Structure 1
């Protein structure tokens, strides 16, 4: 079984679908606190870079939305202060990033968020 293969993705999606309870404590994503718009802009920029040219719109795979919510969006230290709409918008971009880059995409997002203003949209 490959680490980023379909079997692993299906297993993680099943775990996410079980609805594990939220446990109080520090967030699992080691990034600075910031607004949802800032995080979404960075995720969007990174996701748009990896979309195939034939694909004009970012359409997240439904199965990856739960994974994106559970492992990235809900783990952001600022997530409790975001609206449902903000969280869903971010989850969509993170799902696209995961679909095309897997764990590397998440790590790239974490690095970009930790870089601060240099990672802002248009900074490239």
Structure 2
């Protein structure tokens, strides 16, 4: 399997779709609470920075890969400690930016997001 390729993404999406049960305990990544607007602002900034220069258009939201959108929702957005208080629209907006970040930076992008939120 190519670690950066479509096979890995397809595998992760398949795992998400299987609906693995949540395990009680602390989350794998400790993330501070925050408003959807705060978290989305950081994710958006990091995602835009991760895009190749020719694709950077801050006035437009890049179209996330559908499979990565599911990964973004399941593994990042839905496990954020403040997510239960966000609207569906807020969660979807954040999921889109996180999916773009994952597409261009992979797990490093998620780690960077967590660091930025922790420092902010």
TM-score bracket, normalised by the shorter chain, equals: 0.7 to 0.9
- 1:3 shift after superposition: 3.6
Give me the whole-angstrom Cα distance separating, in 2, the residues matched to 1:11 and 1:70: 14
- 1:37 shift after superposition: 0.4
1:20-79 CA-to-partner distances (Å, cap 9, x unmatched) read 455666544411111000000000000000111222341111111000000100110000
Structure 2 unmatched ranges of 5 or more:
none
1:33 equivalenced with 2:37 (yes/no): no
Give me the whole-angstrom Cα distance separating, in 2, the residues matched to 1:6 and 1:91: 19
Aligned partner (choices 96, 101, 104) of residue 97 of structure 1: 101
Q: How does 1:76-115 map to 2 (within 5 A)?
A: 76-115=80-119
Structure 1 unmatched ranges of 5 or more:
117-124
Q: Describe the SS at the equivalent of 1:59.
A: coil
- 1:100 shift after superposition: 0.2
Q: Which residue of 2 aligns with 1:122?
A: none
Aligned partner (choices 69, 72, 76) of residue 72 of structure 1: 76
1:76-114 CA-to-partner distances (Å, cap 9, x unmatched) read 000011100000000000000000000000000000000
Give me the whole-angstrom Cα distance separating, in 2, the residues matched to 1:48 and 1:114: 20
Give me the whole-angstrom Cα distance separating, in 1, the residues matched to 2:30 and 2:3: 22
CA RMSD of aligned residues (A): 1.7
Q: What is the count of residue pairs matched by the alignment?
A: 116
TM-score (ref. length: structure 2): 0.86
Bigger CA drift: 25-34 or 72-81? 25-34
Q: Which residue of 2 aligns with 1:60?
A: 64
